[in-house]
Structure 1
Amino acid sequence: MALSAGLLIFVTLIILLLLGIPIGISLIIASISAIIHSLGFSAAIPASALKMFQGINIFTLLAIPFFILAGNIMNKGGIAVRLINFATALTGRIPGSLAHTNVVANMLFGSVSGSGAAAASAMGTIIGPIQKKEGYDEDFSAAINIATAPTGLLIPPSTALITYALASGGTSVAALFLGGVVPGILWGLSCMVVIFFYAKKKGFVAKSSITAKDFFKVVISAIPSLLLVFIVIGGIVAGVFSATEASAIAVAYSLLLSMLFYKTIKLKDLYTILLDSAKLSAIIMFLIGASNIMAWVMSFTEIPSLLANSILGISDNPIIILLVINLLLLFVGTFMDLTPAILIFTPILLPVCTALGMTPLHFGIMLAFNLSIGTITPPVGNILFVGIKVAQRKLESVMPYLFRFYVAIFVVLMLITFVPWFSTFLPKLAGYS
């Protein structure tokens, strides 16, 4: 039964996606078709509705809409400019300093906002024209912005890691948040290495330096924005509040910061911010509910066990198996959004990786890193197309530059996969086993 149900699910899903049906609807139709095949029509509809409701009726999931709202508030609250100034102060003396500024600013703004697409949009809009004015190749500038925007999907607070905590059956959100810090930073640093050699080749130099007095002013201006990350992570790790409570605190803090301290958001702006946040939250929650139906069907028909045994049967060498899993996830990421991919493939691949001795924490970081790469690869990568649109470039002209960054990011992926220390060092330091 598992084999026939599995084939039915995946064949139906692929056909629907090729027809252009939205991923959430495709997941539901593919799942219900397998339920009808296994249990009959009379049981399929009520069971699907129940599982969809159960999939979103989880207190921890409240963190997702709250972090989305906090991110939207900060996106529109003038945070980007202050973080760019801070990044410029840090990288001003490095060859190709403006390009390095783009990387650091993406890492900072992506983590604060929790959105790679928002980071690509904000940084591309502000830094892109400045890079053009200073003689940077526009396609290379777009590639820098695109390649480094996903760092915020790993550096906390991260909705992707919250989703994985749910899908994995209760992996600590605090441990995952800490586990994502080093891989996210390594992603950014690897791209800075590419930029450094490009800048040396093209003869780019730092065109200005900053005085100690100006540096101090920039840092003071950016500290209130940067404090959000420390408040959220510090509060969770110290046990002061849960991840869900931290998300509500993030909303309150970002609102006070933008309305009272920076005074960049007016009361009339809140309607648009709340509406945009509600729309994005609804999409993500619908995907989670739809994915829960598929997860239940796969569990009921023992598809994960079948696939796990198949993967483990490929080789006796754990290195080969992990390479196959990475290639599978990289492929999946090219045509499936981050949230449904995490929800679908966590129950399939987690048992395989734990059988190889990998902890759920380590696997979660590897999974999120893999699927984050998919956000900057065609044909579906949302950050890729946001970055291209903002830069007003063409895909075919940006891709040759992006390949350089893909290589650097892939090297980091291999480090994350085969050296658990990068993912587990900070969680262990904080007392998470």
Structure 2
Amino acid sequence: AATTGLLIPPSNIMIVYAVASGSVSIAAMFMAGILPGIVIGLLLMVVCFIIAKRTGLETGEPSSVKDILVAFRRAFMSMLLLVIVIGGILGGVFTATEASAIAVAYAFVLSVIAYREVKLKELPEILLHAGVTTAVIMLLIGASSGMSWIMTITNIPQAVSALLLGMSENPLMIMLMINLLLLFVGTFMDMTPAVLIFTPIFLPIAQALGIDPVHFGIILIANLCIGLCTPPVGTCLFLGCGVGKTTIARVTPFMIPFFVAMFVGLMLITYLPALSMWLPGVFGL
């Protein structure tokens, strides 16, 4: 379920795709991902419900209205961050880059003053950790950008486009092949380099088929989200096994119903463009 967060804004990988495409609005990507993320989330909830019923899992005590209101009050200040970031970008108050700085400042104030979970003496360690994380991401982006440049000057995107378009004239079949290729890529490659490398290859094909770049961006990200849960290099799979103190071999069979649900969601996203394009159209993006 953690992968649905990459489809629901704010999402860093959407910004990476917008940069890689060269022409896609970040605000449009943010709006386009909301409904697909909700759809996949609902499908996963259905799977959880069915498994719980079949295996007779114990249920917890239902929350009272008072409990819900208390939880909402505690979470309100944190949820307000999403409103500030997305509302500011949609309203043209600030850019996506400026929004990230505002989000950091707001989160810092909440952590130090409102929730008192972070002390000022911990700030140097936090900044160091943030610097290391940023350096790793920038290294990935730099290496991926170099590979993208090499593929561009060697006309690899054109060759792949000619190959796929030559195999079939049916847009539905071509998009199915692209989905299968991206699902395979997601099993062994991290999202950021995958987006930077394969956007220049597959985006021209999608545009040749009449698919909006925003819609294709959601398809691309949804594919790679599934890859985060699949062996051999599924980041979420590794983390989940670490938290649950179990092995990938033991967990993978139980993942199959969830893979099926996510694949159904992917097909809905691919072949029902309105899921991705309705909200951007409503906001005029």
Q: CA deviation at 1:211?
A: 2.5
**2:213 paired with 1:348:** no
Is 1:175–2:28 an aligned residue pair? yes
Question: TM-score when scaled to structure 1?
Answer: 0.64
Aligned mates of 1:248, 1:364 — CA distance in 2: 24
The alpha-carbon distance between structure 1 residues 303 and 207, as it changes in their structure 2 partners (threshold 3 A), is closer
Say whether residues 1:156 and 2:1 are aligned partners. Answer: no
State the shift of 1:169 in Å.
0.7
Greater length-normalized contact order (CA 8 Å, ≥ 6 residues apart) = 2
| 1:228 alignment partner in structure 2 | 81
- SS state of the match for residue 313, structure 1? helix
Residue of structure 2 in register with 1:395 after alignment: 248
Decide which of 253, 260, 266 is 1:413's aligned counterpart.
Answer: 266
Query: Which whole-Å deviations, capped at 9, do the CAs of 1:389-424 have from their partners, x for residues lacking one?
Result: 111011111111101100000000000001111111
Query: Which residue identity lines up with residue 398 of structure 1 in the other structure?
Result: V
Q: Structure 2: which amino acid aligns with 1:225?
A: S
What CA deviation, in whole Å up to 9, does each residue of 1:124-173 have, x standing for no partner?
Answer: xxxxxxxxxxxxxxxxxxxxxxxx11111111111111100011013100
Gaps of 5+ in 1: 1-147
1:202 is aligned to 55
CA offsets 1:272-319 (integer angstroms, 9 cap, x no match): 221221111111111111122222222212111111111111111111
- Distance in 2 of aligned mates of 1:214 and 1:310: 58
Q: Which blocks of at least 5 consecutive residues in structure 2 are unaligned?
A: none
Aligned AA (1:305): Q
Map of 1:23-34 to 2, 5 A cutoff? Answer: none
Residues 1:245 and 2:102 aligned together: no
1:84-127 Cα offsets, whole Å, 9 max, x none, are xxxxxxxxxxxxxxxxxxxxxxxxxxxxxxxxxxxxxxxxxxxx
Counterpart of 1:318 in structure 2 is: 171
Tell me the residue number matched to 1:431.
Answer: 284
Q: TM-score, normalized by length of structure 2?
A: 0.97
SS in 1 for 2:220: helix
Q: Corresponding residue for 1:118? A: none
Hey, what's the Cα distance between the residues in 1 that align with 2:200 and 2:112? Answer: 42
The residue aligned with 2:227 is 374
Q: Is residue 254 of structure 1 aligned with residue 114 of structure 2?
A: no
How far is 1:214 from its partner? 2.4
Q: CA deviation at 1:256?
A: 0.5
Match of 1:289 in 2: 142
SS of aligned partner of 2:23: coil
C-alpha distance in 2 between matches for 1:175 and 1:383: 27
Kindly state the Cα deviation for residue 386 of structure 1 after the two structures are TM-superposed. 0.8
User: Which protein shows a greater Rg?
Assistant: 1
SS at match of 2:33: helix
Write the distance in 1 (CA, Å) between the matches of 2:171 and 2:259. Answer: 24
Which amino acid counterpart does residue 91 of structure 2 have in structure 1? A
Partner AA of 2:266 in structure 1: L
Between the aligned partners of 2:37 and 2:133, the Cα distance in structure 1 is: 24
Report the equivalent of 1:185: 38
Moved over 6 A (4+): none
